[in-house]
Structure 1
Amino acid sequence: MPAPLRLRLMFALLMSCLMSLLMTAWVTWLNLGAGPAYLAHWGKAFVAAWPAAFTVVVLLAPTVQRLSLKLVGGLPATRV
């Protein structure tokens, strides 16, 4: 597997994991509070969210990165 593809997949794996972990923990806490069933509900939400988040990051990260480069200006908008 080429290094740029490995990097892109590792980034997607880590970013989607982190975002899914934080967002499902936050939304579960907002909806249910920190009761005795919190971890079970959070775990189910995380397992459901992570594959979707991974797919979104893999598909959209290059586009978002190019847009970010254009928005900050002065940096060349290169294909990643």
Structure 2
Amino acid sequence: MVMKFPKRYRGILFALVMSCCTALLVSGVIIYLHAESITIFLHAWVKGFITAWPIVFIAILTIAPLVNRFLDRFFDDA
């Protein structure tokens, strides 16, 4: 059986998962493009991810509601 959370936690859980995926992807690509070796890449990627994840998490919590309100202007409720 799948564990279910109350809907009031959906926004925070979304931001947590989305920020993790975004920080992993973006930090990985940027560091890969500049790394000289696999060892340097892996060390820098972990360090970059640890730095980026909390920043992206806070950004998503802050920006997502603003973007949703902005986009609501262009869509019907139905």
TM-score by length of 1: 0.78
Question: Which stretches in structure 1 are left out of the alignment for 5+ residues?
Answer: none
- 1:34 Cα deviation (Å)? 5.0
The one-letter amino acid paired with 1:67 is F
Q: 2:62 aligns with which of 54, 59, 62?
A: 59
Superposition pairs of residues 1-80 of structure 1, within 5 angstroms: 3-70=6-73, 73-76=74-77
Cα distance in 1 for residues equivalent to 2:61 and 2:67: 11
Percentage of pairs with the same residue: 29
Aligned length: 73
CA RMSD of aligned residues (A): 1.9
Cα distance in 2 for residues equivalent to 1:65 and 1:43: 31
Question: Which stretches in structure 2 are left out of the alignment for 5+ residues?
Answer: 1-5
- 1:51 Cα deviation (Å)? 0.3
Point out 4+ residue stretches in structure 1 off by more than 3 angstroms. none
TM-score by length of 2: 0.80
What SS is found at the alignment partner of 1:24?
Answer: helix
